[in-house]
Each structure stands twice: as structure tokens, then as C-alpha cells.
Amino acid sequence: MKDLITAVLERCRQKGVRLNKDKMQFKQQKDAYMVNVITSDGLEADPNNIKVIFNIPIPTEKEAVQRLVGMTNYVQRFAPGLADATKPLRDLLKKESVFIWDQSHDKAFNEVRSVLTKAPVLKYFSQEKKSALQCDASKDGLGACLMQEGHPIAYASRALTLIEIHYAQIEKELLSVVFGVDKFSEFLYGRHFVVETDHKPLESTKLSSPKRLPLLRLQNYDLEVVYKRGVEMYMAGTLSRAYLKNKTAQKHAVQDVMNINRSRTGQEAEEIDMVSYLPLRDTTIQEIQKHTETDPDLQALATIIKDGWPESKDKIKPQLQCNCPSREELTIQNGVIFKGERLVIPAALRSTMINKLHSSHLGLQGSLRTAREAFY
């Protein structure tokens, strides 16, 4: 200990750092710094800040709920289940919601207090230890947890945007990897690390996907994707389902309260419009959108894409089971369904689209090439 103190003081002397001897303390087991408590075991939430949240009275107006949710955001990094606990409270902050406090909000209010009492200690990051990044995507959110030797270093989560919700599941899982790597870049860049996922197809993929995902950014990292069963992915799995709302458009007031900045990943992924790459006129696209809305099979397929594919093929309608082999490629955007980068044409429009291709004077080979590249 003496040698360590001497080394610290010598470094301060070299760098011109002046210390107040009256404020110096040695051999402390823990000490508060900024808004956290630094301990010999890791980083803890400051109990004084948690105490403030505990002492907040039950809200009687939206402004009070905003203050409560905003304050709980401070301990989100220590309590991965906190966002799930505050969901009924955040729902009260929606612009269209009328403030009515009921039993569900009492339960959420008490659940927040319960979660805060179980906030774990975050271990310190070590350059000598191997790192693992657990990533997971639910139908509504993304979750990532940086870990070393089975201990959490940091948590991160966010909600999917309205566009991202319609991604195929493999795209969501890939997006969770990009989100996690982007979030913890300062820990991972220049080091080999393992990405743990409960999505088996990711283990064999070459991290390539439709043009909407900015996956080229992953080429700068030395990562290895490893499959783990869902029951072993408790950290990232919890986060993806207990996500924090994104800070997006002002129409979602609750998202502004949470004060979570969207990563460049989310912004870039949302900006690319797949429909704009199709060799079709706007009127034709609108016609396809209209028929997709009225096609019962495509609407049933869209529901499966959004809610997730069942584990058993038998739980899917017989007429839709043919889509199971390509389930990882199916996605929705702008009211139409894509298989990869190809547009799924409603049954009622298939004859019409064939006639339009023939009337375009592209020739036989040109028409076939356009059909293969753009339609499914």
C-alpha cells in the first residue's frame, strides 16, 4: 500500500497536480465520487441518491411522474430491470394519456423501490481479462451487457424504432450486436472479444445483411460470435425486454423524459428506405401497399414477423408454412413485406405485375432479371 501511495503522489508531482492534505484520506474501503460510490469490489449507486428517490411522495400530476422517472434514470446502469418496472409510469406521460393514478401505478411505484434495493455492484473493467458482450433483441427492444469473468461491467438498452420493429428477427439480433459494440466501443476497440447471442443463425453468418444495417462498422472490431442458450443469456435478455425508451421525436414525451441518446447506429439504420431502391413508380408501390393491407395471408405473415416466429412449425397456418425456410429474411417496411431485398407481391396483384413487366419492353431476359431482383 505504501508503495502504491508513493507512486500516486509521484505521478501527481510529475503532472503538476496539487493536493489538499486536509482533504486527503488513505486506506478507504469505499468513497463517494461524483454520483457514484467507488469501492474495492466495484462501482455502486450512491445510497444518498437512491434515498432521495425513496422519499419522493406518490405523484399527483404528470410533472411529478416526469421527475420520478427522470431520477430513476440515474440508477438504470445498476438496475437492468428498472425500465420494465417504470413502464406503467412512463405510459402516464404519453401525450394522449389522461392522468389517472390507479393500483397498477401503485404497484409500479413500489416495484421501483424494490428494484433499487437490489441494485448490483458493477465490476471494474480490466485490460488483462477477456471480455464478452451479451447481445439480445426482443420484439420491442435491444439489450447489451459487457461482462468479464461472468461479472457485469456495464448495461445498455434501448427501444426499437417504429421502423426497426418490423425488421426480421435476424436483423434485430444483428442490430443488437451493432448497438452493443457501438455503446461499449471504448472498451472493445483494438481488443479481441466474444459476442454471445441466443440466436443460432448469427453464429454462422458473415455479419452481412440487407443494406439497411450499417454493419460495415463491425469490420473495425476483432470479434467472435458464439451461440448460448437463452436461459444463459439472462443479462442481455432482461435488458432487451426491459428497455429504455429512445429519445426520438418530440411527439413521444415519455421518451424525452428518459433522456437516452440514440446511437448513430439507430439513426443510420432508420434513414435507409428499402422501398426507394425498387424500380417501381410511386403509384405501383401504393397499389402494392393497398393490396398487402387487404391480403389476409400477408397480414397474418406480417403479424408473425412483428411478434416473432413460434418454435413449432405446426403453430403456423398451413398456407404460411412455406415461408419458414426464409423466416430470417422476411421483414416489413412502409406497409409492404420484403424477403431480403425483394418485394413480396400480394396474390391478387401477381398477374398485373407480370403484365407490367412484359409491357415495359425490357425483353425476355430483362424482364426475368427485374422479376428475380425486385420481386418475390
* String of DSSP letters for 150-168: TEEEEEEEEEPPTTGGGS-
Question: Who's near 266: CB < 8 A, 6+ residues apart?
Answer: 158, 161, 164, 179, 246
Would the pLDDT of 193 be above 90?
yes
pLDDT at 52: 63
pLDDT at 247: 42
Q: Are residues 136 and 104 in the same domain?
A: no
**Average confidence (pLDDT) over 116-120:** 63
Q: Are residues 298 and 177 in the same domain?
A: no
| Residue 126 forms part of a structural domain | no
**Domain termination residue (choose one: 242, 267, 292):** 267
Higher pLDDT, 6 or 39: 6
At residue 253 the predicted structure's pLDDT band, cuts being 50, 70 and 90, is very low
Q: Which of 36-45, 186-195, 208-217, 277-286 has the least mean pLDDT?
A: 208-217
Q: Are residues 97 and 208 in the same domain?
A: no
**Average confidence (pLDDT) over 138-152:** 84
How far is the CA of 361 from the CAs of 165, 177, 375, in angstroms?
Answer: 38, 44, 18
| Residue 67 forms part of a structural domain | yes
Q: Are residues 106 and 173 in the same domain?
A: no
pLDDT at 189: 93
Contact 176, 136 (CB under 8 A): yes
Each residue's pLDDT tens digit, 53-84: 667 788 888 888 887 777 676 666 666 666 66
Instruction: Give me the helix-helix angle, 62-72 and 47-54, nearest 10°.
Output: 160
Q: In whole angstroms, give the CA distance from residue 187 to residue 185.
A: 5
**Domain termination residue (choose one: 206, 239, 267):** 267
Q: Are residues 233 and 142 in the same domain?
A: yes
| Residue 235 forms part of a structural domain | yes
Q: In whole angstroms, give the CA distance from residue 75 to residue 114.
A: 13
Grid cell locating 209: 445483411
**Domain termination residue (choose one: 239, 267, 295):** 267
**Average confidence (pLDDT) over 166-170:** 77
Q: Are residues 19 and 59 in the same domain?
A: yes
- Closest C-alpha to 76, from 122, 31, 39: 122
Q: What is the torsion angle, in degrees rounded to the nearest 10, for the CA atoms of residue 338, residue 342, residue 346 and residue 351?
A: 180
| Residue 56 forms part of a structural domain | yes
pLDDT at 184: 92
Average pLDDT across the chain, whole number? 75
Rounded to a whole number of angstroms, the CA Rg of the chain reads 25
pLDDT at 256: 29
Owning domain of residue 350: 275-374
